[in-house]
């Protein structure tokens, strides 16, 4: 009997559905333990008021919080560990960061192959870089990645995701915008990955797993989106440090700076980003080789070690 440990955090339930649609097609000789991380206190869904932005500083700076004790035995041997997560502010969500920085994670992941499954709006590569580092620190070996995204236009997906996150309703906004989040077609068709993952587990052969997943279009990147994300990650880091100077989560002292960040973020998304995108496409031919190398790296599972 082969054993897989699945660890997820899914606020809306979309990510858990994606993971379930993959794992439920595994053969019976694979035993699955699905651990759903529960933050203490829980993050609200839908988000209300400034609470969404209040999660940003700790999320970006990867500051652990509290989660409910895990139910699995960290000393048990698993043949594969699957990490499923959404994206918060170009970073991993706080509950997953909290787990990955725990002693339980260090014990259970050491020397084990890891597969990541991401559900995102359209920007996930910077969060995955953070995840790569934490997997490596825990002694794990990242062997594959699947990233599903909302494929609508960037500005349209911003509007629909804001509507979904603030109302809790995954429905068409004003009847003129598309459904928010990852499409039903993409969620229903993730079972195309099931066979190659199961085969790797049964044969204990993970060396070519990610290449096989890539053939099935497990990762699709937009150079323009990646370029924007790289810049945004640095800016978010600066804002996070600025806000943290005014206290921790829920502190009234930092509400003013959170509101400033909210205004800045909306201005950048709807005013600055279209201009930046236009500039990117104008200069793209001059940077073609560099961009191609970046796309190859971010599509893979290796971690670039800074010297």
Assess if residue 247 is contained within a domain.
Answer: no
Cβ count near 217 (within 10 Å): 11
Q: How many domains is the chain built from?
A: 1
Q: What angle do CA 114, 148, 45 make, to 5 degrees?
A: 95
Residue 167: what pLDDT? 93
| Domain span at 174 | 2-224+295-299
Tell me whether residue 90 is in a domain.
yes
Comparing 98-107, 234-243, 288-297, which segment has the lowest mean pLDDT? 288-297
- Which strands form 2-8's sheet, in the order they lie side by side? 30-36, 2-8, 80-86, 113-120, 141-149
Residue at 259 is within a domain: no
Residue 240 covered by a domain: no
3-state helix, strand, coil in the chain (%, to 5): 50, 15, 35
Sequence-separated (6 or more) residues with CB below 8 Å from residue 199: 205
Instruction: Let me know: does 296 contact 125? Beta carbons within 8 Å.
Output: no
Judge whether 212 and 202 are in contact, CB under 8 Å.
no
Instruction: Report if residue 199 sits inside a domain.
Output: yes
Domain CATH for 213: 3.40.50.360
pLDDT tens digits along 43-73: 999 998 899 999 999 999 999 999 999 999 9
Alpha carbon of 129 to those of 44, 58, 118, 141, 227: distances in Å? 26, 17, 12, 14, 14
Percent of the chain clearing pLDDT 90 (strictly above): 84
Instruction: Establish if 248 belongs to a structural domain.
Output: no
Identify whether 234 is part of a domain.
no
Residue carrying the six token digits 């053939």 = 215
- Indicate whether 154 pLDDT > 70: yes
CA distance 299 to 307: 22
If DSSP codes are grouped into helix, strand and coil, which group holds residue 57? helix
The whole-chain average pLDDT of the chain stands at 94
């Amino acid at each position: 009997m082969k054993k897989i440990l699945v660890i997820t955090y899914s606020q809306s339930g979309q990510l858990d559905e994606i993971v379930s649609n993959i794992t439920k097609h595994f053969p019976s000789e694979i035993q699955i333990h699905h651990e759903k991380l529960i933050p203490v206190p829980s993050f609200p869904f839908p988000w209300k008021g400034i609470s969404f932005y209040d999660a940003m500083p700790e999320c970006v700076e990867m500051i652990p919080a509290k989660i409910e004790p895990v139910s699995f035995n960290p000393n048990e041997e698993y043949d594969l560990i699957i990490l499923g997560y959404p994206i918060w502010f170009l970073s991993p969500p706080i509950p997953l960061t909290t787990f990955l920085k725990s002693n339980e994670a260090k014990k259970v992941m050491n020397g084990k192959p890891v597969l990541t499954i991401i559900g995102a709006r359209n920007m996930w590569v910077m969060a995955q870089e953070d995840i790569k580092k934490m997997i490596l620190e825990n002694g794990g070996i990242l062997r594959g990645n699947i990233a599903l995204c909302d494929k609508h236009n960037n500005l349209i997906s911003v509007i629909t995701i804001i509507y979904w996150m603030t109302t809790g309703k995954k429905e068409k906004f004003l009847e003129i915008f598309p459904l928010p989040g990852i499409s039903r077609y993409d969620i229903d068709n993730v079972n195309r990955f099931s066979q190659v993952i199961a085969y790797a587990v049964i044969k204990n052969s993970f060396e070519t797993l990610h290449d096989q997943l890539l053939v099935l279009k497990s990762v699709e990147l937009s150079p323009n989106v990646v370029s924007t994300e790289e810049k945004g990650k640095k800016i978010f880091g600066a804002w996070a440090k600025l806000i943290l100077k005014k206290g921790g989560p829920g502190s009234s002292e930092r509400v003013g700076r959170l509101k400033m960040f909210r205004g800045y973020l909306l201005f950048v998304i709807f005013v600055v980003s279209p201009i930046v995108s236009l500039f990117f496409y104008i200069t793209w031919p001059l940077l073609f080789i560099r961009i191609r190398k970046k796309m190859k790296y971010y599509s893979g599972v290796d971690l670039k070690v800074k010297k």
